[in-house]
A and B are shown apart, each in its own frame.
Chain A
Amino acid sequence: GEDVEQSLFLSVREGDSSVINCTYTDSSSTYLYWYKQEPGAGLQLLTYIFSNMDMKQDQRLTVLLNKKDKHLSLRIADTQTGDSAIYFCAESSDDYKLSFGAGTTVTVRA
C-alpha cells in the first residue's frame, strides 16, 4: 500500500549480506513485519518487531527499526540461493490489520 514503501529490486552475491529497506508513514504502527514469498507460494512470516524495540536478531536475520525516521530494515547474513524471493515489509496498529509494501525482489547470484 501507499503507506509502506520498499525498493523493488535487490541483487546480491552469494555469501554477502543483503539489506532490504522499508519506510512507513503511520506513526501509530505497533508491529512491523517481514514476510518472504517464493514463486507460486504463500507468504512466510520471517520475523516481526514490536515498535518499542530497535533491534531483533534471529539466526541470520537482523531487523533494525528507527522509529523516529519510520525506517525498517532486514539484514540477511551470508545470503544463499534459497534466499532468492520477494520480501514484503508490513505494519499494523493495534487492530492487527496489515498494510504491505509492494515487495522487494531479491536475486542471489553465484
Chain B
Amino acid sequence: DAGITQSPRHKVTETGTPVTLRCHQTENHRYMYWYRQDPGHGLRLIHYSYGVKDTDKGEVSDGYSVSRSKTEDFLLTLESATSSQTSVYFCAIGAGSGYEQYFGPGTRLTVT
C-alpha cells in the first residue's frame, strides 16, 4: 500500500456535467499520474505532474484538465463529461526516483 486514495470510488453522472476526481497521497512523492483503463487498451496516460503546479499532457488528454496545488493532491477534471469518458480512472505515484509507479484503487465513472 503506497498510501494512495481516490475519491469518489464510483460515480454516475450525466453527459455535459463537469466531474472532478481526487487523488490523495500521504508520502510526499513528486510525481503523480492519471490513467484511464478501457477494455482492449490497457491503461493510457491522461495527464501527469512532476511537482506542485507543474503538469503536462499524456496520450489521451483531450477533454480533461488537472490541477496540483499541494504535493499530496492531484485533481482530474472532466470539463463536460461525454459517454466516451466512461471508464475506470487510476491515479499513480512515482516512488524512488520516479520510475516505480504505484497505483491507487481506481474510480469507476459512468457517464449516461
Q: Is the CB of B101 within 8 A of A1?
A: no
Q: Is the CB of B45 within 8 A of A97?
A: yes
Q: Is A41 among interface residues, defined by CB-CB distance under 8 A?
A: yes
**A33 → chain B, closest Cβ, in Å?**
8
Residue from the list A41, A44, A88, A97 in contact with B42, Cβ < 8 A: A88
C-alpha gap A43/B40 in the complex (Å): 16
A/B pair count, beta carbons within 8 Å: 56
Q: Is the CB of B48 within 8 A of A42?
A: no
Residue from the list A31, A33, A43 in contact with B90, Cβ < 8 A: A43
Q: Is B3 among interface residues, defined by CB-CB distance under 8 A?
A: no
Interface of chain B, helix or strand or loop or mixed? strand
List chain A residues, Cβ under 8 A from B99.
30-31, 48, 92, 96
Q: How large is the interface on A (under 10, 10 to 19, 20 to 34, 35 or more residues)?
A: 20 to 34
Known: A42-B90, A97-B58. A1 touches B41 (CB 8 A): yes
Known: A43-B90, A96-B94, A96-B98. A1 touches B44 (CB 8 A): yes
Q: Is B103 among interface residues, defined by CB-CB distance under 8 A?
A: yes
Q: Is the CB of B59 within 8 A of A1?
A: yes
C-alpha gap A92/B99 in the complex (Å): 8
Q: Is the CB of A100 within 8 A of B44?
A: yes
**B98 → chain A, closest Cβ, in Å?**
5
**A21 → chain B, closest Cβ, in Å?**
15
C-alpha gap A101/B42 in the complex (Å): 6
Residues of A participating in the B interface, judged by any CB pair closer than 8 Å: 1, 4, 30-31, 33, 35, 41-45, 48, 88, 90, 92, 96-103
Known: A42-B90, A45-B100, A103-B42. 6 other contacts (CB 8 A): A35-B103, A48-B100, A90-B42, A98-B43, A98-B101, A102-B40
Residues of B participating in the A interface, judged by any CB pair closer than 8 Å: 31, 33, 35, 40-45, 48, 58-59, 90, 92, 94, 98-106
Shortest beta-carbon contacts, A-B, top 4: A100-B42, A43-B103, A42-B103, A96-B98
A–B Cβ pairs within 8 angstroms, 5 of them: A33-B101, A35-B103, A96-B94, A100-B43, A102-B42
